[in-house]
Amino acid sequence: MSNRNKGIILLLLSAFGFSMMAAFVKLSGDVPTIQKTFFRNVISALIAFGFVKFYKERLFGKGENQKYLLLRSSLGTVGMVLFFYAIDNLVLSDADMLNKLSPFLTILFSAIFLKERARFFQIVAMIIAFIGTLFIIKPQFSYETIPYLAGVLSAVFAAGAYTVLRVLGDKEKFYTVVFYFSFFTTMTLLPFVIAFYEPMSLKQWIYLLSAGVFATVGQFGITMAYKFAPAKEISIFFYSTVVYSAIISITLFGQVPDIFSIIGYITIFSASFYMFWKNNKSATSEA
């Protein structure tokens, strides 16, 4: 099997992992969002801890990378809390697609903060994707808009975290980065969980622990996928999460996206596909 195909399979597996994570988060019901985020990260931290110890790496990375690891973890924590809030209050596939704005925003942030030149077709794709979000959000000045804004902001903070990861590059092992982020989130949210803890049923415990396991599958899958093939060659396959989430929304929750949301999905996916196609075309012409 070619490395490209290995990358595609791992990315599809990662997408499935993240979709199942979102489903279990939603299934856990009326547990506070902070508490859900906490338990999801406890499991990820434990699994990543095992990898770090197995490969005899540093748990908290190198001294010179601390500011980047802290910034990545801070942005990722806020982004995850916002994403879980959106999951709790929106149709699952709506929350998932809004979060998928992060690749477009990463291009924007990389241009602003890392001085990486954004190409014209990337700017066009970002504009098209933004138009797609308007179909999903259906802007209106009401309380109902807040979860949609949380979904968009989750993508903003995720993009910030991914931009910092670009700076980190290969300076740290992926399991060290995952452990650092999960441990940071766990410790940051622990005081809030203790202060506002809501008792959970056995079923809710199982759902949230399962969310943590599937989140780890998603995290490791996407990291390994991009080691087999460049993002520009395979990233489009990560949008399969929206297909998974739509199926889960309908079968588990009886939530059917409205026609405007579906138009939004198609618009954002089209923008992503356009960028994917142009990236590969540019790579071919440069080869």
Tokens of 183: 């441990």
Mean pLDDT of 26-45: 93
Residue 195 class from Cβ within 10 Å (0-12 exposed, 13-18 middle, 19+ buried)? exposed
In degrees to the nearest 10, what's the CA dihedral of 105, 74, 29, 137? -20
**Average pLDDT taken over every residue of the chain:** 88
The residue-averaged pLDDT of 67-74 equals 95
| 287 pLDDT higher than 60 | no
Average pLDDT on 13-26 reads 93
AA letter at 88: D
- Going from N- to C-terminal start, the domains of the chain cover 3-286
Q: With 0-12 CB in 10 A as exposed, 13-18 as middle and 19+ as buried, what is 49?
A: middle
Q: Mutual orientation of helices 120-137 and 102-113 as an angle, nearest 10°?
A: 130
In sequence order, the 6+-apart residues with CB closer than 8 A to the CB of 169 are: none
> Which has the closest alpha carbon to 96: 139, 152, 135, 41?
152
The residue-averaged pLDDT of 164-191 equals 89
The reported pLDDT for the residue numbered 238 is 81
What DSSP letter does each residue of 110-135 carry, written as one string?
Answer: HHHHS-PPPPHHHHHHHHHHHHHHHH
Average pLDDT, stretch 147-174? 89
Q: In terms of Cα–Cα distance, which of 268, 231, 273 is closest to 100?
A: 268
283 band by pLDDT with thresholds 50, 70 and 90 = low
Residue in this structure with the two tokens 């490791």, named with its chain if needed:
220
Q: Can you give the pLDDT at residue 64? A: 92
What pLDDT score does 104 carry?
Answer: 85
- Output DSSP code: residue 59: S
Task: Give pTM, 2 decimals.
Answer: 0.87
What pLDDT does 50 receive? 93
Residue 268 is encoded by which pair of tokens? 């954002």
Look-up: residue for tokens 């009886």? 254
Say how far apart CA 279 and CA 287 lie, in whole Å: 12
pLDDT at 111 > cutoff 90? no
Would you state the pLDDT for residue 173?
Answer: 86
